[in-house]
């Protein structure tokens, strides 16, 4: 009888132990799954090399890659707005889950994410062989991937779901009283660097200025040697213009081609307004060439004052603060005279 009780006790102890193991394993697995599904943040110490954003049908897509000089390149053809990229990475470090989406709303949120969500991926530097300080065969490894949807109805968080997961969450940035969907817009114009010209004096080879209102004020300014620039006729670049030049004004002009940026790259609605406000003929064309032969050019168009045009139709009154530019025969942008006036100079500006 005593032996039978011992067997029963051992059997019961074994069952209890097995149940404890099962409970521990299940609890540990479940909590790990939740942690994986709800981890949207990005450690700022990571060396992020590539960022991708695209909508469901990839009709809008942004790919930003860091080049060897550490500059972010947008869609393999433009410089990305470095400040905007850095702000995105800082914000990623601050993302926190507010709460999971309720079961009764989950199907609706999942459908919204599948149909209108934006897929976001971050790639980091990694190595196929990494033993201590030995690192061989570098490659880009996908570190973070998720789908971003709309802001929640209270506008305090945003619906998000990890790629491969079936559990959506409401995600926010603590202390920020708004959703964060705006951080993940897959539109190229939102990520382009607004700087169109940023060249130091020593890199300039030639500046061509064509004044459409006063053709006689047009000119080429060409490098003669390491320190001197000479003026040449715009229509005949072999004919030097012999005129007394104010050297201080010339030096200020040559030093003014830094951080020249537009205010806004026009979207579809703004471009329709441009067609209404823009003067038909440009007033100036500027082309800048560096010593490697690379060129950037823009055409400047005056515009009507929007308020006057709205009230009376297109008016002759010219906007004194802003104008339109077309860069490299591409898209139009809105620019400020405050930024560009220092390089929109006719020949007479330099005459002593």
Per-residue pLDDT band for 8 (boundaries 50, 70, 90) equals: low
Cα distance between residue 10 and residue 258, in whole Å:
83
Cα distance between residue 123 and residue 64, in whole Å:
10
Least Cα distance to 229 among 245, 216, 218 occurs for 245
Helix, strand and coil content of the chain, in percent to the nearest 5, comes to 30, 35, 35
Structure tokens belonging to residue 226: 């390491």
Cα distance between residue 216 and residue 346, in whole Å:
9
Q: In terms of C-beta distances under 8 Å and separation of at least 24 residues, what long-range contacts does 150-154 make, across chains too?
A: 150/112, 150/116, 150/179, 150/181, 151/178, 151/179, 151/180, 151/181, 152/179
Per-residue pLDDT band for 25 (boundaries 50, 70, 90) equals: very low
Cα distance between residue 210 and residue 232, in whole Å:
12
The pLDDT, as a whole number, for residue 45 is 78
Select the highest-mean-pLDDT range: 22-26, 135-139, 333-337.
Answer: 333-337
Tell me the torsion sign for CA atoms 176, 181, 184, 189.
negative
CA atoms in the 13 A half-sphere facing the CB of 49: 13
The pLDDT, as a whole number, for residue 204 is 96
Region 171-189: mean pLDDT is 93
pLDDT digits (tens, 9 = 90+) for 49-84: 999 999 999 999 999 999 888 889 999 888 999 999
Residue 279 to residues 85, 215, 306, 321, 324, Cα–Cα distance (Å) = 35, 18, 12, 15, 9
Residue with tokens 């090399």: 49
Q: Let me know if 84 is exposed, middle or buried by CB neighbors in 10 A (0-12, 13-18, 19+).
A: middle
pLDDT digits (tens, 9 = 90+) for 302-332: 999 987 555 545 555 899 999 999 999 988 9
CA atoms in the 13 A half-sphere facing the CB of 225: 2
Residues 6+ apart with CB under 8 A from 53: 61, 62, 118, 119, 120, 121, 184, 185, 186
């Amino acid at each position: 009888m005593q032996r039978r009780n011992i067997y029963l006790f051992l059997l019961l102890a074994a069952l209890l132990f097995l149940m404890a193991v099962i409970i521990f394993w299940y609890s540990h697995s479940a909590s790990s799954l939740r942690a994986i599904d709800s981890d949207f943040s990005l450690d700022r110490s990571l060396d992020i090399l590539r960022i991708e954003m695209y909508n469901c049908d990839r009709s809008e897509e942004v790919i930003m890659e860091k080049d060897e000089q550490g500059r972010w390149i947008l869609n393999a053809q433009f410089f990305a707005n470095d400040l905007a990229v850095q702000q995105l990475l800082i914000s990623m470090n601050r993302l926190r889950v507010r709460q999971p989406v309720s079961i009764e709303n989950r199907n609706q949120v999942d459908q919204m994410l599948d149909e209108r969500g934006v897929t976001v991926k971050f790639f980091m530097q990694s190595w196929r062989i990494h033993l201590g300080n030995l690192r061989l065969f570098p490659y880009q490894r996908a570190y973070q991937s998720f789908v971003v949807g709309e802001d929640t109805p209270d506008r305090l968080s945003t619906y998000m779901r990890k790629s491969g997961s079936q559990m959506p969450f409401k995600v926010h940035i603590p202390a920020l009283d708004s959703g964060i969907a705006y951080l993940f817009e897959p539109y190229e114009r939102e990520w382009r660097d607004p700087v169109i010209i940023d060249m130091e004096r020593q890199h300039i080879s030639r500046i061509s200025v064509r004044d459409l209102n006063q053709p006689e004020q047009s000119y080429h300014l060409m490098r003669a040697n390491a320190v001197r620039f000479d003026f040449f006729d715009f229509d005949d670049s072999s004919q030097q213009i012999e005129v007394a030049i104010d050297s201080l004004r010339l030096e200020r002009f040559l030093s003014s081609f830094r951080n020249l940026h537009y205010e806004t790259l026009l979207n579809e609605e703004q471009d329709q307004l441009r067609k209404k406000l823009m003067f038909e003929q440009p007033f100036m064309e500027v082309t800048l060439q560096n010593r490697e032969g690379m060129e950037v050019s823009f055409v400047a168009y005056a515009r009507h004052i929007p308020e006057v045009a709205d009230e009376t139709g297109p008016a002759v009154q010219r906007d004194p603060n802003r104008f339109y530019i077309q860069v490299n025969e591409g898209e139009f942008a809105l620019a400020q005279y405050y930024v560009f006036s220092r390089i929109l100079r006719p020949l007479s500006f330099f005459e002593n």
